[in-house]
Structure 1
Amino acid sequence: MNYINKVMLVGRCGQEPELKYFESGAVKASISIAVRPPYRSEQALWFDLVAWGNQAEVIGNYVRKGTQIAITGEFGFDRWADKNSGTMRQKPVITINAIELLGSPRKEESTSTSAPNETQTVANANF
């Protein structure tokens, strides 16, 4: 039997991206996003995300704290040995396969005088 491991999320970035460059030339971006549940009274859900290669470069160049993004990716775990105790640790993480930039950080949206991005233009078009 085949199993599907696909995650789709829309939320706002909760931190500035953390980029790490490796000697091999690979690049990794780490961010977290807050996803608001359908009922505003509930607390946001937080997810840790990682991206590699071109996706990581896009995140490093265009995503800032507060940027609204949509991602598809795969659920997995980061695993490591605790430096002090040697105990194996793990945390859930989503590896990004595709990312779409949906909006600027909220504080910039209200003060920005630049032209709207393509997603905003399509969303506001009169059809």
Structure 2
Amino acid sequence: MNLNVVNLVGRAGSDAEARWFESGAVKCTVNIAVNRPTSRDDQPDWFSLEMWDKTAKVAADYVKKGSLIGIQGSLRIETWTDRNTGAPRSKPVIRVSRLDLLGSKRDNAAAGMNQYSDGEF
């Protein structure tokens, strides 16, 4: 059995950035800060999120800096070679399959819905 599921609730560190491709696909990226429950003095953990298609469109429209969101997705490690040093680099990225907009009722009313998943509305 294989299991790769990540669930997080945090605040967006910036507005979601969308990129449209000639194929019609949409990719959206955003970083979120997640506070640790153990201490209020700890710095938050930052996670890079990647969303595609309908979920990406919703994120691009409604995820703004400071937005409280919940996500479910899978973890993957993105690797590349640094252009300046030639050193190998990597970072964890969460591929989001479900996005929940967790802001105030007013924020959710403006969105019209509060839960989005790849392939579903």
Matched, 1:100 2:100: yes
Find the counterpart in structure 2 of residue 17 from structure 1.
16
In structure 1, the gaps of 5 or more residues are 105-113, 119-127
Moved over 6 A (4+): none
Matched, 1:80 2:80: yes
Q: What is the CA–CA distance in structure 1 between the aligned matches of 2:106 and 2:94, rounded to whole Å?
A: 32
Q: What is the CA–CA distance in structure 1 between the aligned matches of 2:18 and 2:2, rounded to whole Å?
A: 31
Q: For residues 47-103 of structure 1, what are the alpha-carbon distances to aligned partners after superposition, in whole Å with 9 as ceiling and x for unaligned?
A: 010001011001001110000000000000122233344444221110000000001
- RMSD of aligned C-alpha atoms? 1.8
Q: For residues 14-64 of structure 1, what are the alpha-carbon distances to aligned partners after superposition, in whole Å with 9 as ceiling and x for unaligned?
A: 011111111211111010000111121211111010001011001001110
In structure 2, the gaps of 5 or more residues are 110-121
Q: What is the number of equivalent residue pairs in this alignment? A: 108
- Contact 2:36–2:45 (8 Å) recurs in 1: yes
Q: Which has the higher helix share?
A: 1
TM-score by length of 1: 0.77
TM-score by length of 2: 0.80
Return the letter of the residue paired with 2:41.
Answer: S
Find the counterpart in structure 1 of residue 119 from structure 2.
none
Percent of pairs identical after alignment?
Answer: 44
Return the letter of the residue paired with 1:117.
Answer: N
Matched, 1:36 2:35: yes
Find the counterpart in structure 2 of residue 117 from structure 1.
108
